[in-house]
Chains A and B, each alone.
Chain A
């Protein structure tokens, strides 16, 4: 294991985080809030530690998938640990567990909160909370690859561990250029949303925060009722952008190249939109009698479907009060998730497409046992390795899910709450049902349950395997192993 290289990566992550922590300081200056000093102090300490860790250059810069995964997971842990310090030391979230929960929920773009009163937080804290979504959405390692000149091609292994989806492709030959392009598209879309929201009369602060939360498909709001009290126009803007951020970024890249036709033909996006439309229709039929008009019913159902499938987790209505069909649809959407290569969580539409095709193929082999058929996706045959890894992913997912529910059950909650608590965190959605519904929060859970859910959030964001690799004894041992000095033969 190349631990010096991992150390350097972690150092870089800390430096980046420290740099970004200066942004809330600016907010503090604007609103004249004293908490800014806490952020500044923590930023300085983090930066110093980061510089210290990157001082000594490793002899060997090669990273295999193993190192990539370990660096990614540790990177996210470090990111969360330092990210939660301002909340804790400023006293706005007095419990360390709660502060960590809130930060992990932020970086993993879950948006599950332990706060009972969001509006009591300072502007600085609200901004930092939303910003964690933005950084976590596209991924801090992708950011690292975009700006830090790490030599060698093996850095693809960092991106592999962090990017959502069954397989990682590059947009352009160079990984750095790929990472830059991704962040460019991401930033441009975020800016567009901010502009649209400000035009609609939203205050700049709210617009920036909500755009960050939408871009990362996070879901932290700045008001107690999430998005319910905003104007219909703003809600529509958020709906459109939530759906956009759930789209595979390859499609946006094709659009920037002017290949709009190709972008519209991305299979995954087509199915993604199909699921959104049909779910909206089902919910619309079920709730439209309780709403004041067709527009409201359409907006509410559309908003909730978009918020859940992209795993953003905003709310404009308390869907916990809807009928069972609607609730089931909502829970199912949590599992589906957004497209691969987007900022959303969940299992991902492309995995479902491949899985359904595998089932179809399996049924076909019952009829024609010797038939040979390749599974196709985006008009290309899917390698057997990919199919296999998707199947294993599903199995692992179910197992982790089951273990988590079992662990959460010690908290003596009802079945619906326990089930949706795990579902909403592992899929990085945010709100669940019953006791943790859109109008409630996670604050009342026991610390043990919170830690279980935190691990679920990280597992969901990093797509299970990197996290599982890290807890293997062999890997942990390898981390401390020094390469033995080989005696040179004369």
Chain B
């Protein structure tokens, strides 16, 4: 508990709205040592969060001048508006822009505004617009393109993917040391993290793999498929998908899947919403039914479908549906957990791939915040939390010379539990060995179990 906060100088951040995303942000940003002031209209929520985290709460409407003044907008570095209402978020940011000189981030999640996100961003002068539902749909769609993976995320503008797989029983990698895996299999693949019994390892060459391990590796999409094929995984994308619930997330997901030729069936219980969806997604099959009934699911072909994604607004229902699907079919199941209250139980259940929208959003914001905080030589391009935030993958842009640059990696004194996964040199991806060097202008991805890196030089001892 007595961890020394190596807080350099925290940013002053105002968060408007403390719902799911807001409170996750408070949790993670306070951990990183920032000064958080939060604004909400509900005193009970403020009370709960300020009791649990080291943040100051202010009661009121975050879009009003006086409340923003009280929250200290004058010397705030950043304002993040994540209330339920898009309009309020945009108004908060617009007011903040006029009153203070801070950077603003707004959550905008209705499709109508979302389509115009870029326009809104430019015209209103916002620095960032985030759309949790959309980001979440993107993550799910990536999994469905490669259903044997537990999780897929992309780096270096999509050139490199980080893929998480679970090593099944009797796989040929079971019991092998990483260095003993033949070069024909391992070509252009870097293992960057292994989770076993809740512990995360950054594997060295000596590391012995075991069945049941969750392995994360980075590779290009082509190499990923080749590698997975060699070790006996299927590599095709799913052909059809069954989605339960017709909310915003479902719409974004269905839209993406249909565009890449995947057949989509959506359950939605409200008739009016079905009609809206059928107009928005003419190629999808919209079924006006609860989706929670065994028979209805069977009728819709759950037993034979390739993928099943419950996206109802209720976590418990999603979990039940996933468990059911796992029982009756071989479909790839993706479960969305919005609240994440009982992590320990969820981890022990067979829910297929699990996605947490609130983390997806907060990761994006935290990457941005860390990049803001850093004034000097390098910048964070992407930050991705792996294994429930037990490890981080960070893509740094190296913008000036330092002790790191132009030195062979084997001569650098790197911290423990850290790995340089790849170097992106003007679009060319290098999976580095000891003799490779980092040059100015490169993007470097680092995987580490340390937290709070915001400069490439943090990797040095």
Interface residues of chain A, those whose CB is within 8 Å of chain B, are 5, 8, 57-58, 60-61, 65, 148-157, 169-170, 172-177, 380, 383, 489
Which residues of chain A come closer than 8 Å to B5, judged between CB atoms?
149, 151
In the bound complex, do residue B35 and residue A172 qualify as a contact, i.e. CB atoms below 8 Å apart?
Answer: yes
CB < 8 Å neighbour of B36 from A151, A155, A157, A173: A173
Closest chain B residue, CB of each to CB of A386: B43
B53 at the interface (CB under 8 A from A): yes
Closest chain B residue, CB of each to CB of A381: B59
Q: A148-B2, A156-B51, A172-B35 are in contact. List 14 more A-B contacts (CB 8 A).
A: A57-B2, A58-B1, A149-B2, A151-B1, A151-B3, A151-B5, A152-B53, A153-B51, A154-B52, A173-B12, A173-B37, A173-B56, A380-B59, A489-B348
Name the distance in Å between A7's Cβ and chain B's nearest Cβ: 12
In the bound complex, do residue A174 and residue B35 qualify as a contact, i.e. CB atoms below 8 Å apart?
Answer: yes
The CA-CA distance from A60 to B2 in the complex, in Å, is 11
The CA-CA distance from A309 to B308 in the complex, in Å, is 71
A-B contact pairs, 26 of them (CB 8 A): A8-B1, A57-B2, A60-B1, A65-B51, A148-B2, A149-B2, A149-B3, A150-B1, A150-B2, A151-B1, A151-B2, A152-B1, A152-B53, A152-B54, A155-B54, A157-B51, A170-B56, A172-B56, A173-B12, A173-B36, A173-B55, A174-B10, A175-B54, A176-B54, A380-B59, A383-B43
B288 at the interface (CB under 8 A from A): no
Which residues of chain A come closer than 8 Å to B52, judged between CB atoms?
153-154
The CA-CA distance from A248 to B4 in the complex, in Å, is 31
Name the distance in Å between B169's Cβ and chain A's nearest Cβ: 15
The CA-CA distance from A21 to B37 in the complex, in Å, is 38
B114 at the interface (CB under 8 A from A): no
Which residues of chain A come closer than 8 Å to B2, judged between CB atoms?
8, 57, 61, 148-151
Interface residues of chain B, those whose CB is within 8 Å of chain A, are 1-5, 10, 12, 30, 35-37, 43, 50-56, 59, 348
The CA-CA distance from A380 to B67 in the complex, in Å, is 12
Closest chain A residue, CB of each to CB of B27: A153
In the bound complex, do residue B51 and residue A154 qualify as a contact, i.e. CB atoms below 8 Å apart?
Answer: yes
Name the distance in Å between B59's Cβ and chain A's nearest Cβ: 8
The CA-CA distance from A262 to B3 in the complex, in Å, is 38
In the bound complex, do residue B50 and residue A156 qualify as a contact, i.e. CB atoms below 8 Å apart?
Answer: yes
Name the distance in Å between B35's Cβ and chain A's nearest Cβ: 4
Which residues of chain B come closer than 8 Å to A148, judged between CB atoms?
2
Indicate whether A61 sits within 8 Å of B1 (C-beta atoms), given known contacts A153-B52, A173-B35.
Answer: yes
The CA-CA distance from A5 to B53 in the complex, in Å, is 17
Which residues of chain B come closer than 8 Å to A57, judged between CB atoms?
1-2
In the bound complex, do residue B1 and residue A153 qualify as a contact, i.e. CB atoms below 8 Å apart?
Answer: no
Which residues of chain A come closer than 8 Å to B56, judged between CB atoms?
169-170, 172-173
Name the distance in Å between B73's Cβ and chain A's nearest Cβ: 13
Name the distance in Å between B31's Cβ and chain A's nearest Cβ: 8
The CA-CA distance from A176 to B30 in the complex, in Å, is 12
Closest chain B residue, CB of each to CB of A383: B43
Closest chain B residue, CB of each to CB of A384: B43
The CA-CA distance from A173 to B50 in the complex, in Å, is 10
The CA-CA distance from A8 to B1 in the complex, in Å, is 10
Closest chain A residue, CB of each to CB of B14: A173
Closest chain B residue, CB of each to CB of A176: B54
In the bound complex, do residue A153 and residue B50 qualify as a contact, i.e. CB atoms below 8 Å apart?
Answer: yes
Closest chain B residue, CB of each to CB of A486: B344
The CA-CA distance from A380 to B55 in the complex, in Å, is 21
The CA-CA distance from A5 to B56 in the complex, in Å, is 24
Closest chain B residue, CB of each to CB of A169: B56
Which residues of chain A come closer than 8 Å to B3, judged between CB atoms?
149, 151
Which residues of chain B come closer than 8 Å to A173, judged between CB atoms?
12, 35-37, 54-56
Which residues of chain A come closer than 8 Å to B53, judged between CB atoms?
152-153
Closest chain A residue, CB of each to CB of B348: A489
Closest chain A residue, CB of each to CB of B5: A149
Which residues of chain A come closer than 8 Å to B4, judged between CB atoms?
149
Closest chain A residue, CB of each to CB of B33: A174
CB < 8 Å neighbour of A5 from B1, B10, B43, B51: B1
In the bound complex, do residue A174 and residue B54 qualify as a contact, i.e. CB atoms below 8 Å apart?
Answer: yes
Name the distance in Å between B79's Cβ and chain A's nearest Cβ: 14
Closest chain B residue, CB of each to CB of A58: B1
Interface centre among B1, B52, B53 (most CB of A within 10 A): B1
What 4 pairs between A and B have smallest CB-CB spacing? A61-B1, A153-B53, A153-B54, A173-B35
Name the distance in Å between A67's Cβ and chain B's nearest Cβ: 12
The CA-CA distance from A174 to B9 in the complex, in Å, is 12
Name the distance in Å between A382's Cβ and chain B's nearest Cβ: 11
In the bound complex, do residue B51 and residue A177 qualify as a contact, i.e. CB atoms below 8 Å apart?
Answer: no
Which residues of chain B come closer than 8 Å to A154, judged between CB atoms?
51-52
Which residues of chain B come closer than 8 Å to A150, judged between CB atoms?
1-2
The CA-CA distance from A489 to B3 in the complex, in Å, is 31
Name the distance in Å between A250's Cβ and chain B's nearest Cβ: 13
Which residues of chain B come closer than 8 Å to A5, judged between CB atoms?
1
The CA-CA distance from A175 to B36 in the complex, in Å, is 11
The CA-CA distance from A142 to B51 in the complex, in Å, is 16
Which residues of chain B come closer than 8 Å to A170, judged between CB atoms?
50, 56
Name the distance in Å between A164's Cβ and chain B's nearest Cβ: 19
The CA-CA distance from A425 to B332 in the complex, in Å, is 71
The CA-CA distance from A380 to B10 in the complex, in Å, is 30
Name the distance in Å between B25's Cβ and chain A's nearest Cβ: 13
Which residues of chain A come closer than 8 Å to B10, judged between CB atoms?
174
The CA-CA distance from A150 to B4 in the complex, in Å, is 8
Which residues of chain B come closer than 8 Å to A65, judged between CB atoms?
51
In the bound complex, do residue A153 and residue B30 qualify as a contact, i.e. CB atoms below 8 Å apart?
Answer: yes
Closest chain B residue, CB of each to CB of A155: B54
Which residues of chain B come closer than 8 Å to A157, judged between CB atoms?
51
Which residues of chain A come closer than 8 Å to B35, judged between CB atoms?
172-174, 177
The CA-CA distance from A58 to B2 in the complex, in Å, is 9
Interface centre among B35, B37, B51 (most CB of A within 10 A): B51
Which residues of chain B come closer than 8 Å to A383, judged between CB atoms?
43
Interface centre among A148, A155, A174, A175 (most CB of B within 10 A): A174
Closest chain B residue, CB of each to CB of A4: B1
The CA-CA distance from A151 to B31 in the complex, in Å, is 9
The CA-CA distance from A174 to B13 in the complex, in Å, is 12
The CA-CA distance from A175 to B51 in the complex, in Å, is 11
Which residues of chain A come closer than 8 Å to B54, judged between CB atoms?
152-153, 155-156, 173-176
The CA-CA distance from A58 to B56 in the complex, in Å, is 26
Closest chain A residue, CB of each to CB of B197: A488
Closest chain A residue, CB of each to CB of B43: A383
Name the distance in Å between B97's Cβ and chain A's nearest Cβ: 21
Closest chain A residue, CB of each to CB of B30: A153
Name the distance in Å between B121's Cβ and chain A's nearest Cβ: 27
Name the distance in Å between A435's Cβ and chain B's nearest Cβ: 46
Name the distance in Å between A62's Cβ and chain B's nearest Cβ: 8
The CA-CA distance from A272 to B50 in the complex, in Å, is 29
Which residues of chain A come closer than 8 Å to B59, judged between CB atoms?
380
The CA-CA distance from A75 to B30 in the complex, in Å, is 27
Name the distance in Å between A292's Cβ and chain B's nearest Cβ: 51
The CA-CA distance from A154 to B2 in the complex, in Å, is 13
Which residues of chain B come closer than 8 Å to A60, judged between CB atoms?
1
